[in-house]
């Protein structure tokens, strides 16, 4: 079973506005409401690809109930801890449209509910259910409302509690939250090129520039380092010591929300199917692009179509 943890899930309100202008009234051209959060996105895409998954995290208020309802209606198993304070956040994501093309995306993200130590202990109890062979995906940022002296230690704390149980860890996070996880040798980490560059104090624009820093991350403990680069594709420093570079599959960008999470899901699904890092990388690239070039998160048919035509992989 593949479990995901989204500490601060959301309802994402996504709107399209023609030629957005500040300081005046703008009217939406299109709008939709979806369950959001990095771990949730991973679970949805895994389910779309036919992989069994369960989404864990915290839910509060009417928005928390709606997030869980939407996931269950989609067919994704859930195990949220319901908290008593506040409500799960609403994130507004606006796309400015000109000549039927997205020219700019703007996000306003909510805070989320106040969490207690008891809430956190309930999460730890649920995670005790994991057993050897399971995969745990820890994805997204940690809210300031978390009752920890150092919230950036949450993922490493979870990994420490599960250490020795044979659980495979996947981490998609930034800064200290990601760096602290490396001590537990996660199976996969997925920073993007900007996040990786920020950690090392450099600017990384090309796949060639990313390679040595992805290798450094492997030396620091990660087994596989998958670096997403939006339209530039991605780089994989694999556990077998090989470096793979891939162009982004050709398609028209529609919605970048969830593309990196979809890449994580695709890699996991590809590795589970083939046991091969190269094939997993290819699947990750095509799954990420399938989401980026669609109004919804990637499904099996879209991914398969991109895989059949993809020739942009280099070793």
Enumerate the active-site residues.
261
How far apart CA 132 and CA 102 sit, in angstroms, is: 44
Is residue 30 classed exposed, middle or buried when 0-12, 13-18 and 19+ CB atoms within 10 A define those classes? exposed
Q: Name 164's Cβ contacts closer than 8 Å, sequence gap at least 6.
A: none
Q: Residue 177 burial by CB count (10 A; 0-12/13-18/19+): exposed, middle or buried?
A: buried
DSSP 184: G
Distance CA 39, CA 59 (A): 13
SS3 content of the chain, % helix, strand, coil (to 5): 40, 25, 35
DSSP code of residue 23: T
**Angle of the 193-200 helix axis to the 207-219 helix axis, nearest 10:** 60
First vs last Cα of the chain: how many Å apart?
31
Q: How many helices (H) and strands (E) does the chain have?
A: 10, 14
Is residue 132 classed as helix, strand or coil in its secondary structure? coil
The answer to whether 242 and 277 are in contact (CB under 8 A) is yes
Cα separation of 23 and 268, whole Å?
Answer: 45
**How far apart, in whole angstroms, are the C-alpha atoms of residue 133 and residue 162?**
12
**Residue 84 CB-half CA count within 13 A:** 4
Beta-bridged to residue 55, according to DSSP, are: 4, 78
């Amino acid at each position: 079973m593949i479990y995901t943890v989204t500490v601060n899930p959301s309802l994402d309100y996504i709107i399209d506005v023609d030629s957005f202008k500040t300081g005046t009234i703008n009217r939406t051209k299109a709008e939709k409401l979806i369950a959001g959060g990095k771990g949730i996105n991973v679970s949805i895409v895994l389910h779309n690809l036919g992989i069994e998954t369960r989404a864990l995290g915290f839910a509060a208020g009417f928005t928390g109930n709606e997030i869980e309802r939407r996931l269950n209606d989609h067919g994704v198993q859930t195990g949220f801890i319901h908290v008593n304070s506040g409500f799960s956040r609403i994130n507004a994501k606006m796309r400015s449209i000109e000549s039927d093309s997205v020219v700019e995306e703007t996000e306003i993200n909510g805070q989320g509910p106040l969490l207690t130590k008891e809430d956190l202990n309930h999460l730890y109890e649920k995670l005790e259910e994991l057993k050897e062979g399971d995969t745990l995906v820890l994805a997204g940022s940690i809210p300031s409302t978390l009752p920890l002296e150092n919230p950036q230690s949450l993922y490493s704390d979870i990994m420490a509690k599960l250490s020795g149980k044979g659980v495979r860890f996947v981490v998609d996070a930034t800064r200290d939250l990601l760096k602290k996880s490396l001590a537990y040798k996660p199976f996969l980490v997925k920073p993007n090129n900007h996040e990786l560059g920020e950690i090392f104090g450099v600017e990384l624009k090309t796949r060639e520039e990313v390679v040595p820093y992805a290798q450094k991350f492997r030396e620091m403990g990660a087994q596989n380092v998958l670096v997403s680069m939006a339209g530039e594709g991605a780089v994989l420093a694999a556990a077998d010591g090989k470096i793979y570079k891939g162009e982004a599959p050709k398609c028209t960008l529609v919605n970048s929300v969830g593309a990196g999470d979809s890449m994580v899901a695709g890699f996991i699904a590809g590795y589970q199917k083939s046991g091969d890092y190269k094939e997993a990388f290819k699947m990750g690239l095509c799954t990420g692009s399938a989401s980026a070039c669609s109004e919804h998160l990637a499904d099996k048919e879209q991914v398969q179509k991109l895989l059949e035509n993809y020739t942009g992989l280099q070793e």
